[in-house]
Structure 1
């Protein structure tokens, strides 16, 4: 029973998270005829990527990456209670501009010096 409730809680939590983080649905004041719609192609507005992983402890880990703002958030979802815990948030902008971190030789700068 607890496993079933945990799964239902997980599905509800994921649905709620998508609902909160996704752009609002198009609000329609009135019906729009297809001939009145713009024909200009627009890029997709959704910049969120979500990955779910089951950890060995049984906790569900949800990783949310916003490629537009270059941010990362990690959530843990308790299997028995369905409680969602925000574990970490980080802006990746400066991380992605680093040349190396915990790298091993040869480092990028060393390789550039060797090139003719």
Structure 2
């Protein structure tokens, strides 16, 4: 079994972050996993994302989407017209990370936090 922080990934002579840390940093944020999971089912407009994640504020959803876009995980496509139509979808790397995010969601369902009880 390979450990998450084995010698190969501790940065011995390397300047990049360990792969596990990179993945965790990409989903850092209260709503990013929820957004990734929702976009994993279909491309969505902003309003539809708000419907599927009702507890998130507009400001926070905007911020989280911008961060996910900046990290190359979410694609923002603007369609001209009145009103302007904006559709969010996962990039290839976002879809790959989403598989891991879904595994985390399943783990959370199987082993709920003791504070959730």
TM-score (norm 2): 0.21
Q: Which has the larger radius of gyration?
A: 1
The higher-RCO structure (CA 8 Å, 6+ apart) is 2
Which one has a larger percent helix, Structure 1 or Structure 2? 2
